[in-house]
Amino acid sequence: MPEHQEHAGGVARAAVEAVENSVSVREARAHLAEHINRAESGTPTVVTRNGAPVAALVPFADFEVLEEAADLMLAREAEAVLARDEPTVTMAELVADLFSGRTPGPA
């Protein structure tokens, strides 16, 4: 498992503990509008299934920040791979391999 995914799992568990508003899927369904209103006003809600976090309702601005952070992290990982000067594949090769069901090979 990539390091960032392991870290994300730990962060998710810590987030559930830090968030006051944690509800089950059933509770979230029953009171979705209320949880959306809370998120809109800045209060996140963690949704759990069998006690494990599966989703979060957060203010959209927070979501955008998280998306940008994830994009930056992936860009840094890509730059590190390119800096090692290892073989790469073109986008066309990657797409062709995805549709053929084969594992992409180096160019």
- In CATH, what number is assigned to the domain containing residue 28? 3.40.1620.10
Task: Measure the CA–CA gap between 43 and 39, rounded to whole angstroms.
Answer: 5
Q: Which range of residues forms the domain containing residue 38?
A: 3-58
Question: Are 8 and 34 members of one domain?
Answer: yes
The beta-strand segments (E) located in 26-89 are 45-49, 52-57
pTM of the complete model: 0.57
**What value does the mean pLDDT of the chain take?**
83
Task: Measure the CA–CA gap between 30 and 12, rounded to whole angstroms.
Answer: 23
Task: Measure the CA–CA gap between 104 and 17, rounded to whole angstroms.
Answer: 41
Question: Are 67 and 86 members of one domain?
Answer: yes
Question: Are 12 and 53 members of one domain?
Answer: yes
Number of domains in the chain: 2
pLDDT in tens, 25-69: 999 999 999 999 999 999 999 999 999 999 999 999 999 999 999
- Distance, first Cα to last Cα, the chain: 25
CB 88 within 8 A of CB 82: yes
Give residue 78's pLDDT.
85
